[in-house]
Amino acid sequence: MDLAALKTQLKNFVQSMFEEGVLDNQFSQIQALQDSTNPNFVEEVITLFCNDAERIINEINRNLGYQNVDFSNLDSYVHQLKGSSSSIGANRLKLACANLRQASDERNKEG
């Protein structure tokens, strides 16, 4: 596939993420920050976010695996993920964090 076609495919993919609510306006702000002085900024910050998020999600899964879940420990991880996902425009992930916090508040492991 040639470069132009790949670029179009990427653009369409990102557009569909906006339409599905996976990404929100905050991501557009970040795209707007990329310029000739920061040519790979979007890619770099996404990589940064994904590495951090992977680590946090692993911790969340580990915490949820225990018989007696330490909800306050879990909460601090979810809070951190909520902060970074909202900063990068990962809308659905941010909402999922909010839901998880609420379920965790209710001490509802099933939720």
First vs last Cα of the chain: how many Å apart? 44
Positive or negative CA dihedral for 45, 51, 54, 59?
negative
| Sequence-ordered alpha helix ranges (H) in 1-111 | 3-19, 25-33, 41-64, 71-88, 91-105
Asked if residue 75 lies in contact with residue 101, where contact means CB atoms within 8 angstroms, the answer is yes
Nearer to other proteins, 64 or 98 (CB): 98
User: Is 11 a binder of other proteins (CB under 8 A)?
Assistant: yes
Query: Nearest approach, Cβ of 103 to other proteins (angstroms)?
Result: 16
Q: What is the smallest separation between the CB atom of 98 and other proteins, expressed in angstroms?
A: 8
Contact status: 9 vs other proteins (CB under 8 A): no
C-beta closer to other proteins: residue 63 or 87: 87
52 binds other proteins (CB under 8 A): yes
CA dist., res. 63 & res. 85, Å (int): 20
76 binds other proteins (CB under 8 A): yes
Residue 33 contacts other proteins per CB under 8 A? yes
Chain centroid offset of residue 17 CA: 12
Nearer to other proteins, 20 or 105 (CB): 105
Q: Tokens 């076609």 appear where?
A: 5
By the rule CB under 8 A, 63 interacts with other proteins? no
The answer to the question of residue 15 lying near other proteins (CB under 8 A) is no
